[in-house]
Amino acid sequence: MLRLLTCVLLLLSLMVPAPHHAANASYLEKIDYTLTNQSDGDFHGQDLEGSSFAGAVARNANFSGAKLHGAIFTQGAFAGADFSGADLSDALMDRADFVGTNLENANLSGVIASGSSFADAQISGADFSDALLDREDFSKLCRRAKGSNPSSGINTKASLGCP
């Protein structure tokens, strides 16, 4: 009787569909770059969705065209990095250094970037829709905002909510 019950339970478990994330295990294959040195690294065009660069040093790294949706950049140093055309939507970028980065045509919609610095960043065509930025960064970014994002079609000034 126990053997029959075990077989029935096994068959029933095979009939229950697996959760979506189990069928798509690619999220498990992401590398954790937390607290590493990735300066001058080449990540262009890579799928790094949900990856962590928390506390990482990635000065002058190339992230152009990378998929970084939901990535974590908290307290990282990315001065001079190239994020042109990258998808940074919903990324956590608080207290990070983005001084002099290239954010042209990047998607920064929904990012949380409180306490971060974007001084001298190139933002032409960047989409900041629903981004959480410090007031000081907001003012500086509004002065440099121009162009429209090629993917969303949203004007950079409008996405920032500039006056």
**149-160 per-position pLDDT tens digit:** 999 999 999 999
Within 8 A by CB and 6+ apart from 52, the residues are: 32, 33, 34, 71, 72
What is the model's pLDDT at position 20? Answer: 36
The answer as to whether 6 is a domain residue is no
The answer as to whether 34 is a domain residue is no
Question: How many structural domains comprise the chain?
Answer: 1
What is the model's pLDDT at position 3? Answer: 53
The answer as to whether 116 is a domain residue is yes
Provide the domain limits for residue 149: 63-158
What is the model's pLDDT at position 31? Answer: 81
The answer as to whether 117 is a domain residue is yes
The answer as to whether 98 is a domain residue is yes
Q: Which two tokens stand for residue 117?
A: 């610095």
The answer as to whether 76 is a domain residue is yes
Report the CATH number at residue 110.
2.160.20.80
What is the model's pLDDT at position 19? Answer: 39
Contacts 24+ apart (CB under 8 A), 56-64: 58/33, 64/102
| Residue ranges, the chain, pLDDT below 70 | 1-29
Per-residue DSSP letters for 81-112?
Answer: -B-TT-B-TT-B-TT-B-TT-B-TT-B-TT-E
What is the model's pLDDT at position 24? Answer: 41
The answer as to whether 126 is a domain residue is yes
What is the model's pLDDT at position 65? Answer: 98
The answer as to whether 49 is a domain residue is no
